[in-house]
Amino acid sequence: MLIAEDDQKQAELARRYLEREGHEVVVVADGRAALEQIRQRPPALLVLDVMMPKVDGLDVCRILRRESDLPVLMLTARSTEDDLLLGLDLGADDYMTKPYSPRELVARARSLLRRGQRTPTDPVLRVGAVHVDPVRHEVRSDGRLVDCTPGEFQLLQAMAAQPARAFTRDQLLGYLHGFDRYITNRTVDVHVMNLRRKIEPNPRKPARLVTVYGVGYKLVEESPRVG
């Protein structure tokens, strides 16, 4: 794993937490060194700060995406939506805004590494009768091909990757950056309502994409009907 961060204290803190998780970690302090390290010894994941000398993180990401599909977790002190969207548009897989929790950094890194380890022979995410294929960008419900918007697909893929996990609306909003131009908590509710029409046997009584009251939503395997 490679950390590209010019703040020595931040880099050391991130390195310690990631090494506790069992990762071998290399730290560099500027974008040019990051690109050289990646070309010489490609890491499993790049933790990339935006504000760095020589070559900044946005340019590193732009250059890297011409050469590699290496997972990138971007760190930024810029908190405006435009800045975050720019990073994602350039190819970052995830982002965190400073100051961040080192434990959350470890969890996000773990999630990105799991995505990279998914076997290409069977990339389909299956939750009961709902199948999500990230490679073909297809959704099937009860074997029937379902037409989804990009935002709907992102939400369904996120939930299918972690079946039965309760996602808050704010967490689901994070998956919509770069796919929906204007996003609010209501955007998530609209997508869920539309997805239920497409994947539920009875959208008025959801049994697959269900509400977790006081939290948000989760995707579950439909319980078999009795009688």
Same domain, 151 and 109: no
Which secondary structure element, helix H or strand E, spans residue 210, and what is its range? strand 209-212
Q: What is the pLDDT of residue 214?
A: 87
Q: Residue 116 pLDDT more than 80? A: no
Residue 132's CATH number = 1.10.10.10
Choose the final residue of a domain: 117, 152, 187.
117
Same domain, 23 and 113: yes
Is position 224 within any domain?
no
Instruction: Name the domain count of the chain.
Output: 2
Q: What is the pLDDT of residue 137?
A: 85
pTM (whole model) above 0.85: no
Q: How far apart are alpha carbons 42 and 26 in whole angstroms?
A: 11
Average pLDDT score over the chain: 84
Same domain, 138 and 103: no
Choose the final residue of a domain: 92, 117, 142.
117
Sequence-ordered alpha helix ranges (H) in the chain: 8-20, 31-40, 57-67, 81-89, 102-117, 150-161, 169-174, 185-199
135-187 per-position pLDDT tens digit: 788 999 999 999 988 888 889 988 998 888 888 888 888 777 544 445 566 78
* Contact indicator for 31, 55 with CB cutoff of 8 Å: yes
Same domain, 172 and 151: yes
Is position 138 within any domain?
yes
3-state helix, strand, coil in the chain (%, to 5): 40, 20, 40
CA angle, residues 176, 65, 116, in degrees to nearest 5: 65
Same domain, 104 and 82: yes
Domain with 78, as residue range(s), is 2-117
CB atoms within 10 A of CB 64: 22
Higher pLDDT among residues 65 and 172, named by residue:
172
54-58, 97-101, 185-189, 205-209: least confidently modelled range: 185-189
Q: Residue 12 pLDDT more than 90? A: yes
β 130-133/138-141 pair status: antiparallel
Q: What is the pLDDT of residue 142?
A: 93
Q: Which of 2-11, 110-119, 156-165 has the highest mean pLDDT?
A: 2-11
Q: How far apart are alpha carbons 77 and 5 in whole angstroms?
A: 12
Is position 226 within any domain?
no
Residue with tokens 């000398």: 53
27-50 per-position pLDDT tens digit: 999 999 999 999 888 899 999 998
Peptide bond into 99 cis (omega under 30): yes
Same domain, 93 and 44: yes
Same domain, 163 and 72: no
Same domain, 110 and 194: no
Same domain, 51 and 76: yes
Is position 227 within any domain?
no
The arithmetic mean of pLDDT across residues 75-103, rounded, is 76
